[in-house]
Amino acid sequence: MKSFYIIVLLCALACTAHAQMRDPQPESPSHDPVLVEANNLTRHMSERLRLTESQVVKLRSINHIKLARMDEIQWQYHYDANARKAKLLELEAQYEQECQRILTPSQISLMREEQQQRDSVPADAIPTENGLG
C-alpha cells in the first residue's frame, strides 16, 4: 500500500513539473484590462497608420508595456502630481523612441498629427464611458 502512495505522489509531481515546463499560455484578454487596451490601441494604430504584420506584433508589445507602466506610475506617484507628470513624460519619450525604431517616417508623422489633434481637444469635450461627462 505504501508503494501505491509513492507512485501517486510521483505521478502528481511529474504532472506538476510537466505543467510548469510547458510554454506559458498568454493570459486571456478578458482577464487583463491593460492587454485589452493595448490590443485596442494597436488595432486603431494599425488601421490609421496601415501597419505591416511585423509592425503590429512589435507595437502590440510596446503598447502593452507602455500602458502597464502608465498604470504603475499612476499608482506609485498618486500622491505627487509633479513626479507623476515627469515620469509619464519620460515614459512617453521612451515610447516615441521605440515607435521611431518600428514605424516609417510617414507613419510617425501621422501618429504625431493624431496625437496633436487629441491633445488640442479640451478635456471636458471628451465623453466619458458612462456618458455622464
pLDDT at position 32 is 83
pLDDT digit string (tens) for 93-131? 999 999 999 999 999 999 888 888 887 866 555 555 444
Backbone angles phi, psi at 50, to 5 degrees: 55, 60
User: Which residues have CB under 8 Å from 114's CB, separation 6+?
Assistant: 48
Map residue 126 onto helix, strand or coil.
coil
Q: Residue 18: pLDDT above 60?
A: no
Question: Between residues 43 and 13, which one has the greater pLDDT?
Answer: 43
106-109: list long-range contacts, CB under 8 Å, 24+ apart: 107/49, 107/50, 107/51, 107/55
In whole angstroms, what is the distance from residue 122 CA to residue 3 CA?
A: 73
pLDDT digit string (tens) for 31-75? 788 899 999 999 999 999 999 999 999 999 999 999 999 999 999
Q: Residue 17: pLDDT above 60?
A: no
Q: How confident is the model at residue 19 (pLDDT cuts 50, 70, 90)?
A: very low
pLDDT digit string (tens) for 63-86? 999 999 999 999 999 999 999 999
- pTM listed for this prediction: 0.65
Number of H helices and E strands in the chain, helices first, is 5, 0
* 114, 48 contact by CB (below 8 A): yes
In whole angstroms, what is the distance from residue 79 CA to residue 65 CA?
A: 23
pLDDT at position 1 is 59
pLDDT at position 131 is 46
CB atoms within 10 A of CB 111: 17
